[in-house]
Amino acid sequence: MSQTSPALLVQEIGEQGLLNRLQAFCPADVVGDDAAVLTVRNDRSLVVTSDVLVDKVHFSDQTTSPEDAGWRAIAANLSDLAAMGAFPLGITVGLGLPGTVKVEWVERLYQGMVACLTQYGGAIVGGDICRSSVITIAITAFGQVHPDRVIRRSTAKPGDAILVTGVHGASCAGLELLLHPEQGQTLDSAERIALIHAHQRPKPRLDLLPILQRLTGAKHSFPISGMDSSDGLADAVLQICRASGVGASIDRHQIPIPSVFKHWLSPAQALEWALYGGEDFELVLCLPIALAQIVVQELAGAAIVGEIVVEPEVLLVDSTGQQADEVLSLDRGFQHF
């Protein structure tokens, strides 16, 4: 791709000019028709998920470079695929752009998208560009999964262990440090950068899928339910319980949090961010305890945080007996309007 003048605006090259430049980010064989043609394996179902991201709501130049905005947009959608047990096939990108956006900004956005796709699988197979008063990024991701290996929210069973694939609260902490750099004076530079990186470059947990495939490959049934924690760990557990008609007991001391929280935050604040911070894009799975224990051994950072119970309530319990049980609810999460 040719070097782009940093001053060049979208309105100077028009829709077609921009499309021509962005085609450099797509595989050559999908460009140039009304739609892209993809191959789904014969024995696989198609999985489809969508996100719409808007400037100043979901990203902003204050906290997010265009490369990071692109990475995050893709990572969020690949995380939804991972949460269904599906491997990525491709994505489409719809862009609404003010004419005064710099062409370089759009190209850097695509560089971030392609960086994430290159690492985790899939390619940009289509899209649309149009004029808008606000930068809008609409992503649709497609994946494929064996129809008997779909991870759903609605099949959690009492007695299942609740497993998370990694720490919670890091993304929220990273955003806080970006918005309020005066915060976290007890953190050293590497610790700050690690938390900010967790916010800017979240990892979709597709690495879990081959492990699950191997561990369940010989079984006739697939005893795993779950979703991702994009809207927070509390939200994920509550959504799974609601969809499955069950409850859960979560041990506050078993939730993995960044180790640096201990010399920065109060335990209450650390727990708040871990439960309600959101955007950690880990997976929250409900599965038989024996299987969960094997996953914990094989996947660094994974932890069993609780258990599915019959009573349809999500309780935060204290295994040390020092604090009273708390009932978790969605009310402490946020709504987008």
Write out the residues near its own copies by the rule CB under 8 A.
10-11, 14-16, 18, 32-40, 42, 45-54, 57-58, 80-81, 83-84, 86, 89-90, 92-97, 99, 125-134, 136, 138, 140-143, 145, 147, 150, 152-154, 227-228, 243, 335-337
From 262, 283, 280, select the one nearest 271 (Cα to Cα): 262
**Nearest residue (CB) to its own copies, 100 versus 266:** 100
Residue 99 Cβ vs its own copies, minimum distance, rounded to whole Å: 5
**Nearest residue (CB) to its own copies, 154 versus 186:** 154
**Nearest residue (CB) to its own copies, 33 versus 182:** 33
Residue 176 Cβ vs its own copies, minimum distance, rounded to whole Å: 21
Residue 113 Cβ vs its own copies, minimum distance, rounded to whole Å: 14
Residue 297 Cβ vs its own copies, minimum distance, rounded to whole Å: 26
Please state, in angstroms and rounded to a whole number, the distance separating the CA atoms of residues 293 and 291.
5
Please state, in angstroms and rounded to a whole number, the distance separating the CA atoms of residues 337 and 327.
25
Which sign does the torsion angle of CA 22, 24, 30, 31 carry? Answer: positive
Q: In a 10 Å sphere around its CB, with 0-12 CB exposed, 13-18 middle and 19+ buried, how is residue 245 labelled?
A: exposed
**Nearest residue (CB) to its own copies, 15 versus 251:** 15
**Nearest residue (CB) to its own copies, 209 versus 270:** 209
Please state, in angstroms and rounded to a whole number, the distance separating the CA atoms of residues 162 and 228.
12
Residue 32 Cβ vs its own copies, minimum distance, rounded to whole Å: 6
